[in-house]
């Protein structure tokens, strides 16, 4: 969920492991957007945000310009990706999964409405849709 989608995409690229299916629920695309939004939510100054971003780039020896989920997945090995995201998510915009889907041919969008960023996790339609996707049944009907 959320930031975990980014962690999975970076791990898949780094390790080169091939997986059958992946499910991302409310995924970011640009890592910087997550940092920026978090800074705003906790009242972090722009100076502190710059320092935090610099430390992250230094720690991972990568520029934020290179840290996009959509880019990481292009170089990863998987057979199917389900992108579950609420169209009105106020934490991570829906455009994130649209970007990821546009750059990854073997992906399926599963948009929801009225679930938000957190309630989506407990929604029966979402749970059964994910189960159907993972078990290889008919793709999620939206």
Which pLDDT tens digit goes with each residue over 70-128? 988 988 889 899 999 999 999 899 999 999 999 888 899 999 999 999 999 999 999 99
Task: Supply the DSSP string of the chain, one letter for each residue.
Answer: -THHHHHHHHHHHHH--EEEEEEEES--SBHHHHHHHHHHHHT--HHHHHHHHHHHHHHHT--GGG-BHHHHHHTSEEEEEEEEEETT-SSS-THHHHHHHHH-TTEEEEEESS-TTTGGGG-HHHHHHHHHHHHT-SPPP-
What is the mean pLDDT of the segment spanning 22-46?
A: 91
Please report the pLDDT score of residue 140 as a whole number. Answer: 52
Q: What is the pLDDT of residue 105?
A: 82
pLDDT greater than 70 at residue 138: no
């Amino acid at each position: 969920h959320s930031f975990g989608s980014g962690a999975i995409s970076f791990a898949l690229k780094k390790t080169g492991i091939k997986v059958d299916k992946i499910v991302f629920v409310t995924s970011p695309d640009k890592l910087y957007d997550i940092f920026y939004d978090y800074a705003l939510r906790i009242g972090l100054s722009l100076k502190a945000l710059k320092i935090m971003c610099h430390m992250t780039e230094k720690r991972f020896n990568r520029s934020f310009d290179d840290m996009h989920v959509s880019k990481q997945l292009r170089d990863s090995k998987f057979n199917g990706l389900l992108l579950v995201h609420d169209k009105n998510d106020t934490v991570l915009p829906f455009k994130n999964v649209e970007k990821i889907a546009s750059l990854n041919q073997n992906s399926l969008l599963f948009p929801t409405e009225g679930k938000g960023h957190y309630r989506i996790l407990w929604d029966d339609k979402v749970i059964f849709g994910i189960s159907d996707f993972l078990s290889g049944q008919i793709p999620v009907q939206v």
